Amino acid sequence: MTSSQAMPPEGRYVQAGPIRMHALEYGDAAGPVVVFVHGSGPGNSAYANFQFNIEAFVEAGFRVILPDMIGFGYSDKPLDMGDYTLDLFCDTLMAGLKALDVSSCIFVGNSLGAGVAIQIALNHPEFVNKLVLMGPGCIDEQANYFQMPGIAKMMATSQAGIDQDNLGDVLRHFVVDPSHVSRELIDMRWAVAKDQPREVLTTMKTPNLGPRLVELTCPILTLWGADDAFMPPAGKQLCLHANDKSRLLEINSCGHWVMIEYSRLFNVTAIDFILND
């Protein structure tokens, strides 16, 4: 595999407040907008998280947008803006989406990306039509996340230094079936991770939005892997009972990446929820 093949595809750049943000766009420009918000972890990008979901959503008639959040993918990774806080992720993402002429959307968010989507829905309920969450972050105390085995391994490796050899070991904590951590995925994430400042992960600060889930008014679908090594399991009940339009599906023999390990199930379930629930 050449280095060019390992890289995620490159799309469009927009000014997102103080940073330049990268985004991929697919589908019908006039269709309902679905924004996929990726999770954290070394070398992540929107395409690495959601490459197996794009085609199904395009075929369903959506305008599909995959932004790389600040610190990830091809977007800027500044070290002069302080800690990587949830507000920083939310503010820059909103600025980027407005630059892409998005006035409202359905958010599909994994992990940190789900936390970002929740915070934006709380701050701007008129902007968010529906939420699809997968193993959502930011709904428990940050210290409780650090006690989860997947995050503990990821943070320890980040502190020591990520390299191309140990990156695969970290990524395999995200799944039950290690075959989903392909050589292509490792190379794709390493292409970003090798130039990603470790501070993106080590200075990340997230609040506990769990008590505020009851303030959400939009329909919510949460998908949760029963073997998720990253998310404290108490969050399942919070998501299930967020409001009377909240649904939760727990998938057996599944880790943190429902959209990768069970992509067909995820695509069918999420699209049906968006179109019909």
DSSP 148: S
150 contacts 225 by C-beta, under 8 angstroms: no
The packing angle between helices 164-171 and 149-160, to 10°, is 170
Strand ranges (DSSP E) for the chain? 12-16, 19-27, 33-37, 63-67, 105-110, 128-134, 220-225, 246-251
| Rounded (5°) CA angle 172-115-161 | 40
Please report which helix (H) or strand (E) contains residue 33, including its range.
strand 33-37
83 contacts 115 by C-beta, under 8 angstroms: no
| 256 classed as catalytic | yes
Name which of 33, 34, 43 is nearest 68 in CA terms.
Answer: 43
Distance from C-alpha of 259 to C-alpha of 148, rounded to nearest angstrom: 21
Catalytic residue among 38, 173, 180, 256: 256
* Radius of gyration for the chain, computed over Cα atoms and rounded to the nearest angstrom: 17
How is residue 160 written in tokens?
């020591």
The three-state secondary structure class of 66 is strand
The three-state secondary structure class of 13 is strand
Return the active site residues: 256
